């Protein structure tokens, strides 16, 4: 089966840096995605990693280590609007659809003043 | 990023009625679309994969006769919840698979449809 683990909740202060970790155990691997989801809304795409290393995109960076089954999302210069749920998703082979996304339960991030 | 629309955004219906949800990729063609369901404070659960021009494939535990999927064109997939019951009340989200020139696949999500069955 597929297992994606990430912390349930995190709190950080406006202007600070926060790192959200994700560990995974999947049958096959075709990339790891991070999505942001505000309450009552659909997820929006943040980043994609398929090779080891760090991908930087503005205030957001994502890291992947395939050998360790580990990724993190780094958010810098936190803003109040960054309060949301952050979903780690691993693309893995699926007998129905070729590859499918397997989602973790999400990390609810609260940014405080 | 690519844009996916979903309609309607909210549905309230009586038990026993059928509800149709549309998912459209607006600026790209998607041979594959996915339908997810999300209960409060839970993760997204894949229900089925919708392939243009062929039958949808369903995940284990999802009734294909209850959740009818049609992918009639490269930009439109529909999900029909037949004879809806209160336990079907949930947040239904579609996504469309986009492949760029580097063969990188990304799923872009629609805004979701919140279904409440009374």
In tens digits, what is the pLDDT along chain B, a chain of 118 residues? 678 999 999 999 999 999 999 999 998 888 899 999 998 878 889 999 988 888 899 998 999 999 999 988 889 999 999 999 999 999 999 999 888 777 777 889 999 999 999 9
Query: E strands, A16-76, where?
Result: 18-25, 32-37, 44-49, 53-57, 60-65, 70-75
Beta strand B19-25 pairing with B76-81: antiparallel
Cis peptide before B8 (omega within 30 of 0): yes
Nearest to A6 by CA among A92, A112, A86, A111: A86
The shortest CB-CB distance from B111 to any of A31, A42, A45 is to: A42
Whole-angstrom Cα distance, residue A68 to residue A52?
Answer: 10
Tell me what pLDDT residue A100 has: 84
Contact between chains at B105 and A45 (C-beta distance less than 8 A): no
pLDDT value of residue A82: 97
Which residues in B have their CB inside 8 Å of a CB on A?
1, 6, 32, 34, 42-46, 48-49, 51, 57-59, 91, 93, 95, 104-112, 114
Task: Please name which of B94, B53, B45 lies closest in space to residue B72, comparing C-alpha atoms.
Answer: B53
Instruction: Supply the pLDDT for residue B41.
Output: 79
| Per-residue pLDDT, A19 | 98
Token code pair at residue A73: 């999302």
- For residue A59, give the nearest of A74, A45, A81 by alpha carbon: A74
Q: Which of B27, B28, B21 is nearest to B7 (CA)?
A: B21
Tens of pLDDT, residue by residue over A1-47, are 678 999 999 999 999 999 999 999 998 898 999 999 998 888 898 99
Task: Answer yes or no: is pLDDT of A98 > 80.
Answer: no
pLDDT at B28: 87
Cα nearest neighbour of B111 on chain A: A42
Residues A61-88: tens digit of each pLDDT = 999 999 999 999 999 999 999 999 999 9
Residue position matching structure tokens 């064109």: B73
Mutant choice from A42, A85, A100 vs B, greatest count of B C-beta within 10 A:
A42
Q: Tell me which chain A residues have a C-beta less than 8 angstroms from the C-beta of B98.
A: none
**How many angstroms separate the CA of residue A11 from the nearest CA in chain B?**
17
For A54, half-sphere exposure in the C-beta direction (CA atoms, 13 angstrom radius) is 10
């Amino acid at each position: 089966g597929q297992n994606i683990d990430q912390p349930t909740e995190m709190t950080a202060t406006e202007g600070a840096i926060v790192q959200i970790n994700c560990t995974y155990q999947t049958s096959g691997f075709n990339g790891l995605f991070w999505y942001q989801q505000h309450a009552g809304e659909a997820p929006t795409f943040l980043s994609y990693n398929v090779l080891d290393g760090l991908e930087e995109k503005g205030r957001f960076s994502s890291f992947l280590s395939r050998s360790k089954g580990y990724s993190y999302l780094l958010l810098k210069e936190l803003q109040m609007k960054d309060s949301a749920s952050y979903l780690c998703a691993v693309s893995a082979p699926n007998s129905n659809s070729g590859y499918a996304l397997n989602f973790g339960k999400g990390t609810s991030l609260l940014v405080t003043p | 990023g690519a844009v996916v629309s979903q309609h309607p955004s909210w549905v309230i219906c009586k038990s026993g009625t059928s509800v149709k949800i549309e998912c459209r990729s607006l600026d790209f063609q998607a041979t594959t679309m996915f339908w997810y369901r999300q209960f409060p404070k839970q993760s997204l659960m894949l229900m089925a994969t919708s392939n243009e021009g062929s039958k949808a494939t369903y995940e284990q535990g999802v009734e294909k006769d209850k959740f009818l999927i049609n992918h009639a064109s490269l930009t439109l997939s529909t999900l029909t919840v037949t004879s809806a019951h209160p336990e079907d009340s949930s947040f239904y989200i579609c996504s469309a698979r986009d492949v760029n020139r580097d063969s990188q696949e990304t799923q872009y999500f629609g805004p979701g449809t919140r279904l409440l069955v009374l």
